[in-house]
A and B are shown apart, each in its own frame.
Chain A
């Protein structure tokens, strides 16, 4: 067999194999985009709590870091930008200075898609809060009061604080009833 005839043989084989290889690669790519492909890493966006979980967000959220929920330890929340609200409350003396992440930032962070949420405290007290409150007002989940970290004994670790002193329309039974302290869970609802 001459070299020329050998070349012709190789080209013939190539012509038969290449279309099949192309089909094989495309099939693999198509299948890989499905169950075999890695899903968006929500847990990687939220991070994973390394200490005791102080807040669990469940319900209609896009990002989770646990089994269908988003869990936060104190460090994860303290890593978020803090907003300060100076206001009077019916349960504190004088004007108190509260610091904590904005509720709307937290909702964005977990990809909340509901119109309301159910906040539950350590003592199982629960209250429903419209999500629009977080858009209309700078509502925070206070983690500090007057510079001191809030613990369970001081109505922590998280306390929903509205800007009551700045917004007179919030100084009513509805506005105060949504100020739940010792929060342990937020359930996003439709």
Chain B
């Protein structure tokens, strides 16, 4: 049995309802016990007070004294008459006066009021007072040998003694009855107190036993709770350690991400669900020179001037509307000073906790220098292409002796109609077989040493069968391939004919 409900398992409504029942029962018991004890002690106090009143008033003694004074007076009277004991008339009158005082004050005061209520007491006192007044003069003038006076006095008092004695007995009897009643009630109260005392002792012992059991159970519960607390503390410590490790890993991951993102991009940006810029990191302005206030809250097409008919732009709009990830979408921002900034944006859609689309997040990179470099490269390529196309010398690019490029001069010299007639063809097919060996050695030197070799003279054979001498110079193009070689050749047949003519003329 448990005095108190366990709380570790959580109170149920039923338990909550009866939770304070033991305390309520104990409280009610204590109140009832206190009330009973109060009533008992009030009764005891009342009986004690009444017993003390009985002793204090001592009405039986009071009544007995009246009777006794009468008897003593009569005794003195007889002794005076008989001449015994040296009793004088003063002694007789003194006893008469004492008896007189008893009779005349018998009904006075609290004690007298009790005395007078006894049956016949009032009439007896009246009778005694009349008798005393009747014999007063006789007593005052009484002589020892006055037998008649003596007889008259005694005759007048005759019968009073028995009546006073009867009242004295009534007073004693009544006091005995009342005392018996008081003592019976006190005995009952005493017995009840003993029973209560025994009950309290028994109940106290039971309560102490229950409390000891409860203390033991609470101790066990406390040990269990302490164990749970220790386990939970250990779990929490482990969890904290894990979280700390996870946090450190997260910090490392974030740092790594920042490093990667920073290396791959210049700034971060966010678009809201309305596809307007809602966030730009600080580096945006540093990188582009454009104030974020010019961009935030605007669409892509408001911060740049796209060609809405461009396929790239149309594809980008479709990606965004379809909430698809996009990469390297290029925009051109206008600065306040009229200059432009080329940026590359990569983004991915993000969702809120409810899974709803909430915009795009991504990175941006200033690619202005890259765009300008590309443009410059394209311009340079154009210039070189034109230079190659307009060159009077034949230019061939061949990999492992297979031709991959031929400029118009080479096409023309080698009797082809189009460069495609030459591309894919083995260069050795266009060289006089007498020079094959020297040519292969020459190309090998070029590939091995990696630098230009002195011009050589060769005899080329065109597709039309025409052979003509050329001066050629070759160099390796490492960026085009491991064995790619650029060869520039010049038809020297006209020079050779001039030389032959000069020698003939001379």
Contacts and interface: CB of A to CB of B under 8 A. Distances in A.
A154 B56 contact: no
A173 interface: yes
A90 B56 contact: yes
B111 A90 contact: yes
Contact of A93 (B95, B98, B101, B109): B109
A90 B101 contact: no
B55 interface: yes
Interface string A128-160: 000000000000000000000001111100000
Judged by DSSP, the binding face of B is helix
Contact of A152 (B98, B111, B112): B98
Contacts of B94: 122, 152
Contacts of A171: 56
Contacts of B58: 173
A173 B94 CA distance: 28
B169 to A, nearest CB: 21
Q: How large is the interface on A (under 10, 10 to 19, 20 to 34, 35 or more residues)?
A: 10 to 19
A7 interface: no
B97 interface: yes
B97 A90 contact: no
B152 interface: no
Contact of A173 (B56, B68, B105): B56
A154 B105 contact: yes
A171 B94 CA distance: 30
Contacts of B110: 90-91
B56 A176 contact: yes
Contact of B98 (A89, A122, A172, A173): A122
B403 to A, nearest CB: 147
Contact of A91 (B69, B72, B97, B111): B111
A156 to B, nearest CB: 8
A169 interface: no
Interface of B: 52, 55-58, 65, 68-69, 72, 94-95, 97-98, 100-101, 104-105, 108-112
27 contacts: A90-B56, A90-B57, A90-B109, A90-B110, A91-B108, A91-B109, A91-B111, A91-B112, A92-B109, A93-B108, A122-B94, A122-B95, A122-B98, A123-B69, A123-B72, A152-B94, A153-B97, A154-B104, A171-B56, A172-B52, A173-B52, A173-B55, A173-B56, A173-B58, A176-B56, A181-B101, A182-B101
